[in-house]
Amino acid sequence: MDVDVAAYRDRFPIFKNATYLNSCSQGALADTVRGAMDHYMDGMDELGSHWDQWVGKQEEVRGLLARLFNTTPGEVAVTASASAAIDSIASALFLDDGPRTVVTTSLEFPTAGQIWHAQAARGVSVVHVPAGPGHLLAIDALAAAIDDDTALVSVTHVCYRNGAMTDLAAVIELAHSRGVRVLVDAYQTAGAVPIDFTALGADFLVGGCLKYLLGMPGVGFGLVTKEACAALVPTSTGWHAARDIFAMDIYGYDPATDARRFEAGTPVVPSLYAVASGLDLLLEIGVDRAWEVSSNLHDQLRAGVGELGGTVVTPGGTGEHGPMIAIASTDEHALVRAMAEDRVIVSSRDGNIRISPHFYNDGIDIEAALTSMRRHRHLLA
């Protein structure tokens, strides 16, 4: 089934003012998401604190995330950010005399590397496997880094710097064959690339809701398998992680029996309203259909950059890239500013500009970006 992009574009007011191609930083704001935030504010005026509704909204988000990733609500922790999810998971590891090494890569977002290095105070060491050309991770290099002291392999699904995608199936198969758990950072793919958590087989998958999931800052998630939930008890916690959040017990620690044990204190309630609305909209469209739309736009963008004599630094093979396409620049910050003056909104990292279409974009948006790059050709590498 084809996505009627034009029908959904009207739901995103930003397209009246600009060509928005920066979903890898923040998803475009839908009118229904704004409306959900207004509904929260109206409730504050009418009722003040409305705890039953707020807790219900958190459970709604949990259920929607479970649907999106083909898992059960019991395997979903709703957190304040991806960082909070990783931190809670980290707090449950390394509590015994077992392995104390985390194997990760050179591709990670700072959060992942910094949290693992922060465990040094608990005797944990971190090994970074360098990526190969195009920021693609070589499985042989990862295999060489895993040894008997490896407790966890932590990998990003897509590199935030250039959009290169990790072969998760190969990573998970390798790690599990050595008896090692796997954590996947899916922030740059969640909502843009279909992910089936049950089929994937990772032990943990984390992300946030402000990019392709169409939400706002303040809501992240950690997907945790039933097996990992049963085996791990986080020491970073809060009252919303308790078995009964209204027991108000200050004399003991009785964590939830499912992934909710990886949550913390009071959630960011206004953002829950926004996220629930964004997830509803995305599920209506379907991530598979959204990925089809953006994939077609990637082809158009790559061809256009080639005609300009520019350089796409994102790998182009099947399964080698996510929703973001990175283009080399002599001054990425200057090019982002110049394109913004042309009302084309993109972002930059690592010497490249990043263009990240979603289902609400179309070929006219890509042509607008190419026209702007043509105007500023001297800033393309």
127 and 106 in a common domain: yes
292 and 212 in a common domain: no
Report, as ranges of residue numbers, the positions in the chain whose pLDDT lies below 70: 1-3
263 and 372 in a common domain: no
231 and 82 in a common domain: yes
Max Cα-Cα span within the chain: 68
pTM of the model: 0.96
For residue 328, give the H/E element and its range: strand 325-328
Per DSSP, the residues of 104-152 read EETT--HHHHHHHHHGGGGT-EEEEEPP-GGGPPPHHHHHHH--TTEEE
What is residue 63's predicted lDDT score, i.e. its pLDDT? 98
What is residue 53's predicted lDDT score, i.e. its pLDDT? 81
Cross-strand bridge partners of residue 191 = none
What is residue 2's predicted lDDT score, i.e. its pLDDT? 63
What is residue 371's predicted lDDT score, i.e. its pLDDT? 98
Q: What is the pLDDT of residues 92-128, one digit of tens each?
A: 999 999 999 999 999 999 999 999 999 999 999 999 9
Find the angle CA(291)-CA(295)-CA(300) to the nearest 5 degrees: 150
Share of the chain above pLDDT 90, in %: 93
Where is the domain boundary, 233, 249, 283?
A: 283
Least Cα distance to 191 among 238, 152, 158 occurs for 158
Q: What is the pLDDT of residues 211-266, one digit of tens each?
A: 999 999 999 999 999 999 999 999 999 999 999 998 999 999 999 999 999 999 99
170 and 267 in a common domain: yes
What is residue 107's predicted lDDT score, i.e. its pLDDT? 96
What is residue 4's predicted lDDT score, i.e. its pLDDT? 79
351 and 311 in a common domain: yes
Q: What is the pLDDT of residues 33-43, one digit of tens each?
A: 999 999 999 98
What is residue 30's predicted lDDT score, i.e. its pLDDT? 98
- Residue type for 129, please? V
153 and 141 in a common domain: yes
Print the domain residue range for 164.
Answer: 33-283
Least Cα distance to 106 among 92, 127, 120 occurs for 127
105 and 215 in a common domain: yes
What is residue 204's predicted lDDT score, i.e. its pLDDT? 98
321 and 276 in a common domain: no
52 and 99 in a common domain: yes
Where is the domain boundary, 283, 313, 343?
A: 283
- Per the structure, the count of domains in the chain is 2
d(CA 178, CA 216): 38
